[in-house]
Structure 1
Amino acid sequence: MKKFWEMKQSANNANEAEIFIYGDIVRYQWDEQDTTASSFQKDLKALGDSINQINLHVNCPGGAVFEGIAIGNMMKHHKANVTAYVDALAASIASVIVASADKIIMPENSMLMIHNPWMGVRGNAKDFRKAADDLDKIAESSVITYLSKAGAKLTEERIKQIMDDETWLTAKEAQEIGLCDEVMESNQIAACISDELFQKYSNVPEILNQSIDKSKDNEFRKKLIADATQNSALIGTILGGL
C-alpha cells in the first residue's frame, strides 16, 4: 500500500517544506500502530522543527473523511505558515484539508468540489436513522472548517446549500465565497484528472468530461511522473496516486 502523500524539505530553503497529496485519501493500517493519520503525523514531524513554511499541493478526489479531518487539523495547528495549492482538483474531504490552510492559491482552471459526506449502511430502520444523524454530525465538522476559512464571505446557510447540491466551484467562484485567496494563471497539470473521478460523483461539470482525451492522458501522466522524478528538489519518488 503506497502512501497518498509525499513530503520533502526544500533544497533551496531549510525552513521550507513541500507536501503533495495526490490520489485518494485512504484509511489504512500499515502495521499494528501505524495508521494513515499517525503515519502522516510522523512524516510531518520528521521534516523538523525549523520548518516555518509549508507548501501543500493537492490533486485529490477525496476519500476517508476522518483521515482527512485529522490531516486538516495537523495543517491548521502546525506552527508553520501553510499555503495550499489546488494543482487540479480538491474534492470532498480534500477541500476541507485545503480550507485548513492559512492561504489557498488556485490556478484559474482548477476546481473545488464540496458535498455532504457519504456512508454505506446495512441494517434496520433504526440503523439507518442513526446513520443519518451521524452523517449530519460529520458534515458539521466540515462546515466549521469552511466557515473558519471564509469568514464574512460565507454564511452557514450558504455552505450547507453548497454541500447539499454537490457543488463544483471554479477558482473564481471559490474566491468569491472566501475559499480561495488568490487565483493564478492556468496550470497544465489541471488537465490531468482521473476517469475514476467521474464514477464517484453525480454532478461532474460537462467541461471536465469533454476535456479528457483518454488516448493522450496516459502519456501525459507518464510525462508528469518523469518530470517529477527528475525534480530532486521537490520529489524523490513517484507520488502515490499520480
Structure 2
Amino acid sequence: MRVNVKGVIIPQDYKRVYDWYDMESTTPRDIADALAAANGQPIEVYINSGGGYVHAGADIYTALSEYPGEVNIKIIYAASAASVIAMAGHSMISPVGQMMIHNVYSSADGDYRALHRAGDRLDIACDALANAYMRKTGKTRDEIRAMMDEETWVDAHRAVELGLVDEVMGGDLVAADVPGLLPESVVQKTLAMFRDQNAAALAQAKTDYENLIKKGVV
C-alpha cells in the first residue's frame, strides 16, 4: 500500500485552512488513517516535502516507527521535518532526490529570561530530532548536531554515504518544488473565520492571500 507524505507537514487543526487555499499538505491524522487502512500490510511511504511543523513531523515519524508491518520509504525530496520522517524505516532515494537537515526554528519575545528559556527549548527540540538521525545513521550526537547547525543539504549519493538513506533507487521519479508554510497570521485568521462560518470573509481572506502572492510577500 502506498502512503504519501507530500506538501507541507502541519497539525490537523490547520488542514481545513490549507485545503481552502488548495495547498498540498500532510497531517499526522492522514498518516494514522493510512496506517489503519493498511492493517499491518507492507507499506511504501513516498516523501516529497519541504517539511513543516516539528511536532507534526515527530508524530508521523513515531507512527511509522511503531507500525507493525514492513515500512519502505521512497524519497523524492525530504527537508526539515520531512527528513525526520524519512528516518522511520528502510529507505531509498530517487537519483535526483535531495535531503536537508537543520535546527528547529521558532520565534520568541519577552525579557532576557524568556529568550533564554526559548533558546533552551529549541536546544532540547534539536536534541530530540537528533535522536532520529542518530538511530538511523549510527553517528554520534555531536556529529549530527554539527550537521544540523550547518543546515546540511545532500544529494542522493551523499545521503547514502552519510547513512541517512539506505540506497539509491532506480526509476524516473522527479523532484518537485513544495509550497511553503502559510503565514501563521493567515492560518489563524482563516481558522477564526471558519469558526464564524463567515463565507464572505473567507472569500476575502483568500483574495488577500492571492494578493500577497502577487506582491511577492509570501
Tell whether the 8 Å contact from 2:28 to 2:56 is kept in structure 1 after alignment.
yes
Q: CA deviation at 1:100?
A: 1.3
**Distance in 1 of aligned mates of 2:43 and 2:8:** 21
Structure 1 partner of 2:46: 57
Cα separation, partners in 2 of 1:54 and 1:188, compared to 1, 3 Å: closer
Say if 2:28 is the partner of 1:37.
Answer: yes
Say if 2:140 is the partner of 1:155.
Answer: yes
Say if 2:5 is the partner of 1:18.
Answer: no
Q: CA deviation at 1:40?
A: 3.5
- Any gaps of 5 or more consecutive residues in structure 1? 1-16, 198-242
Instruction: Report SS of the residue matched to 1:24.
Output: strand
Q: CA deviation at 1:121?
A: 1.3
Instruction: Report SS of the residue matched to 1:135.
Output: helix
Cα separation, partners in 2 of 1:75 and 1:130, compared to 1, 3 Å: same
**Distance in 2 of aligned mates of 1:43 and 1:186:** 25
**Distance in 1 of aligned mates of 2:179 and 2:165:** 26
Q: CA deviation at 1:120?
A: 1.7
Q: Which string of whole-angstrom CA distances, capped at 9 and with x for unpartnered residues, describes residues 136-178 of structure 1?
A: 1111111111111112xx2222111110000101111111111
Tell whether the 8 Å contact from 1:109 to 1:186 is kept in structure 2 after alignment.
no
**Distance in 2 of aligned mates of 1:44 and 1:113:** 26
What are the residue-to-residue correspondences of 1:201-212 with 2, within 5 Å? Answer: none
Say if 2:86 is the partner of 1:98.
Answer: yes
Instruction: Report SS of the residue matched to 2:174.
Output: helix
Q: CA deviation at 1:126?
A: 1.3
Tell whether the 8 Å contact from 2:96 to 2:174 is kept in structure 1 after alignment.
no
What are the residue-to-residue correspondences of 1:177-192 with 2, within 5 Å? Answer: 177-185=162-170, 187-190=172-175, 192=176
**Distance in 1 of aligned mates of 2:94 and 2:38:** 30
Tell whether the 8 Å contact from 1:20 to 1:58 is kept in structure 2 after alignment.
yes
Structure 2 partner of 1:211: none
Structure 1 partner of 2:190: none
Number of equivalent positions:
170
**Distance in 2 of aligned mates of 1:106 and 1:113:** 13
Structure 2 partner of 1:221: none
- Any gaps of 5 or more consecutive residues in structure 2? 17-26, 182-218
